[in-house]
């Protein structure tokens, strides 16, 4: 009876997910990445902090769009935001699949992320793009660290999670390059602004992994 209940639950979850989610779920199962044979502590930290990071990125772009949405750079920001929405959706699915709790700091990142996006956008297009460059560079560096960590822990078990992280890392780097192409370096006190934002990102990553 327990086996039949588990089988029904698996079928229901698969049928109710979207096509991309189904492909990821099947591949996770087929590769042997299950709740029983993975390093739960490592995976919990990765999924929790990545979900928080993508949530924060969404709030940053929301703040930027609130200020610059009707300007010429609005469509550029919207396109990057749409990709971040996909990233957040995938990590939300992984949190459910692997029973990972979100960070308790989500309400804080909600406010801080929007304020950062809107505040830098008030400096103009260049300020918003400087924020994008700083944040996306930090996220890409963070994803690279996670890739190295998983590669040291029987990478064949985590290949599908590695694929997700690599794909999102590459898209974050695209956003970074878009920011540079749209005059990020012309923002007021660019170097100082970038350093401050990236210091904040490091603190956010540290806290979201642990809380």
Residue 87, annotated as binding a ligand = yes
Is 136 a known ligand-binding residue?
yes
176 assigned ligand-binding residue: no
Helix ranges (H only) for 69-210 are 74-97, 106-121, 125-151, 159-181, 190-210
User: In sequence order, which residues have a C-beta less than 8 Å from that of residue 82 and are 6 or more positions away?
Assistant: none
185 is in an annotated binding site: no
Q: Any known ligand binding at 84?
A: yes
Angle between helices 74-97 and 19-31 (to 10 degrees): 40
- Going by C-alpha positions, the residue among 101, 79, 86, 80 that lies closest to residue 24 is 86
Q: What is the DSSP letter of 124?
A: -
Residues 6+ apart with CB under 8 A from 69: 77, 78
| Residue 172 marked as a ligand binder | yes
Query: Which run of H or E residues covers position 67?
Result: helix 40-68
Report the binding-site residues for Fe cation: 54, 84, 87, 136, 172, 175
Residues belonging to the binding site are 54, 84, 87, 136, 172, 175
């Amino acid at each position: 009876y327990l086996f039949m209940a588990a089988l029904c639950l698996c079928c229901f979850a698969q049928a109710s997910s979207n096509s991309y989610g189904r492909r990821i779920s099947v591949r996770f199962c087929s590769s042997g990445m299950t709740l029983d044979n993975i390093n739960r502590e490592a995976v919990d930290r990765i999924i929790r902090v990545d979900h928080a990071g993508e949530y924060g990125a969404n709030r940053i772009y929301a703040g930027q769009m609130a200020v610059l949405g009707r300007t010429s750079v609005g469509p550029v920001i919207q396109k990057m935001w749409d990709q971040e929405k996909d990233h957040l959706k995938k990590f939300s699915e992984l949190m459910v699949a692997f029973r990972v709790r979100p960070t308790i700091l989500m309400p804080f990142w909600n406010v801080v992320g929007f304020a950062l996006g809107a505040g830098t956008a008030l400096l103009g297009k260049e300020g918003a793009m400087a924020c994008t460059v700083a944040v996306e560079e930090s996220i890409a560096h963070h994803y690279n660290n996670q890739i190295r960590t998983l590669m040291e822990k029987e990478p064949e078990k985590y290949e599908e999670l590695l694929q997700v992280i690599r794909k999102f890392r590459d898209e974050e780097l695209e956003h970074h390059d878009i920011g540079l192409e749209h005059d990020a370096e012309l923002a007021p006190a660019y170097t100082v602004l970038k350093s401050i934002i990236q210091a904040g990102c490091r603190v956010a990553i540290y806290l979201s992994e642990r809380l």
